[in-house]
Structures are given as structure tokens and as C-alpha cells.
């Protein structure tokens, strides 16, 4: 059925996009080692709007416990510093002209537990988004069934396929969460 194939592609695409977002959020959680991905989720108040940090500066990790942020426009250095401080990542940048040095402090046990909770929240948000995609897909299937585009049996079969896709992506989110939580707890 062409209608279901298009719907299935759309659902699959939306679920994969959600999984990518969750994985990107996980990359932003620090594990005690410097990673340029750590600052990816940070948004900066620049030029009258919220912009991703990587659109106003270049980020590098020259040492295991140091991230450097080279701001392209000197006037944005303070805004970048403020965004990093307020990011809830526990980072304290030092400004040197257009260069910000961001030391990565070692994680204590309490901070590790906090980060595990944040990772869990990211995973739960992702699962909710996946379930919303499933609900949208199922609603569209019901409409197709009601309009006579598919039979009742086909409807049940397609609902099962949508559920299998949902289960698969949620399992991938859970696996990524477990991996990230293990990473966070490594000393």
C-alpha cells in the first residue's frame, strides 16, 4: 500500500531524528574529560536572538581537562561566557580577550549522580517524543481505515509495525542511556 509506505517512511524518519537529538543531548553531558560536544547544547544570546555556540565561536579540546572557545566577534565574548556559566554544566570559563578557557573540573560523586539524572531526563523526553510520533502515526492509520484506504486487517497489521518501530527506537534510547550513565560513573 503506497499510503502506508509513505506514512511508515515519515514515522521512521521522525523517530530516527528524535534518537539523533537524544544522542546529541547525551554528548553534551560531561564525563570528566574535555569534549567539544560538551558545549553543543549551549545557546548564546547573540545579535538579538538565541544562536548555537558553534555559530559564534570555534570550540577545541587541546588538553584532556580543558576546552577552549575562540569567539569570532570580540563583542560576543561576554555573552558566550554568560551562556557557558548558566548552562548548568558546572563550568567556569576564564575570558582572555576573544579566547575563553574552560577548565573541566573532576566530577565528584554528587555531580555524577546529578548528571545521571539529567541523562535520564533526556532519555525520557526522547521516549515521550517517540510515543507522540507513534500516536500521530496510529491516528493517521485510523483515518486511512475510516476513509476506506486500508482494510481493518491491514490497519491492525500496520499498527503492529508502528509499535515494533517504536519498541526498537525506545530500546536504542535505553541502550544509549545505559552506556552514557556507565561513562558518567567511570572515575
**Every domain range in the chain assigned CATH 1.10.132.20:** 2-26+108-185
The CATH classification number of 33-103 equals 3.30.1360.40
3-state helix, strand, coil in the chain (%, to 5): 65, 15, 20
- Specify the DSSP element, H or E, that contains 175: helix 152-185
- Burial level of 108, CB count in 10 A (0-12/13-18/19+)? exposed
111 or 92, higher pLDDT: 92
CA dist 143 → 12, 154, 156 (Å): 19, 13, 13
CATH topology of domain 2-26+108-185: Topoisomerase I; Chain A, domain 4 (1.10.132)
What grid cell was written down for 125? 523526553
Query: Cα Rg for the chain, rounded, in angstroms?
Result: 21
pLDDT in tens, 111-135: 788 888 888 999 999 999 999 999 9
Residue 117's pLDDT is what?
87
What would the pLDDT profile of 61-86 be if each residue is shown by its tens digit? 888 788 898 999 888 888 888 888 88
Please list the residue range(s) of the chain that carry CATH number 3.30.1360.40: 33-103
DSSP 33: S
Amino acid at each position: 500500500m503506497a499510503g502506508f509506505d509513505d506514512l511508515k517512511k515519515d514515522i521512521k524518519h521522525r523517530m530516527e531524528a528524535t534518537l539523533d537529538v537524544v544522542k546529541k543531548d547525551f554528548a553534551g553531558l560531561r564525563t570528566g574529560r574535555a569534549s567539544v560536544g560538551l558545549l553543543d547544547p549551549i545557546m548564546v544570546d547573540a545579535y538579538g536572538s538565541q544562536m548555537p555556540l558553534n555559530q559564534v565561536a570555534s570550540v577545541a579540546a587541546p588538553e584532556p581537562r580543558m576546552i577552549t572557545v575562540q569567539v569570532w566577534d570580540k563583542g560576543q565574548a561576554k555573552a558566550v561566557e554568560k551562556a557557558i556559566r548558566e548552562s548548568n554544566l558546572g563550568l567556569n570559563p576564564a575570558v582572555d580577550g576573544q579566547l575563553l578557557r574552560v577548565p573541566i573540573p573532576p566530577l565528584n560523586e554528587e555531580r555524577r549522580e546529578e548528571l545521571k539524572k539529567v541523562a535520564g531526563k533526556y532519555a525520557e523526553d526522547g521516549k515521550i517524543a517517540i510515543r507522540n510520533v507513534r500516536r500521530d502515526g496510529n491516528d493517521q492509520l485510523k483515518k486511512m481505515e475510516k476513509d476506506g484506504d486500508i482494510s481493518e486487517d491491514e490497519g491492525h497489521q500496520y499498527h503492529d509495525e508502528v509499535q515494533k518501530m517504536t519498541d526498537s527506537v525506545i530500546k536504542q534510547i535505553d541502550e544509549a542511556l545505559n552506556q552514557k550513565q556507565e561513562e558518567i560513573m567511570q572515575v
